[in-house]
């Protein structure tokens, strides 16, 4: 049975930030930043030792954020941005973690 949990996406003052999270038993570093020019949130994913796996990927509503990449070092579960309202509208600068949640569906 899959276990879904919310990643900590409290952006505060919109400065880029990183946090570590355990996904399916492995610790990863997630980086989030809001790009003013495109009005879009981007994410990075690294191993705990700093090896970059993904960089500058857009956070898109209801889109599998990891499944399109073929890399055995990536978490095996499903990472998605889920809008709690207005699903067709992407998260603006102050909505990631409030109106739009970043959820991970674990396989273990």
The answer to whether 49 touches 68, Cβ cutoff 8 Å, is no
Q: Global pTM?
A: 0.91
Looking at residue 15, its pLDDT comes to: 82
Q: Which two tokens stand for residue 53?
A: 């796996």
Q: Which two tokens stand for residue 92?
A: 């603006």
Domain that holds residue 58: 3-106
Cα–Cα distances in Å, from 41 out to 49, 83, 92? 24, 14, 8
The mean pLDDT value for 10-22 works out to 83
User: pLDDT tens across 39-75, in order?
Assistant: 999 999 999 999 999 999 999 999 999 998 989 999 9
């Amino acid at each position: 049975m899959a276990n879904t949990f919310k990643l900590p996406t409290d952006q505060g003052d919109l400065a880029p930030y990183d946090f570590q999270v355990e996904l399916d038993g492995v610790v990863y570093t997630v980086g989030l930043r809001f790009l003013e020019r495109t009005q879009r949130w981007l994410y990075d994913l690294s191993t705990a030792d700093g090896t970059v796996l993904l960089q500058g990927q857009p956070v898109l509503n209801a889109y599998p954020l990891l499944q399109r990449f073929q890399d055995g070092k990536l978490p095996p579960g499903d990472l998605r941005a889920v809008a709690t309202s207005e699903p067709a509208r992407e998260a603006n600068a102050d909505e990631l973690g409030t109106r739009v949640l970043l959820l991970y569906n674990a396989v273990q």
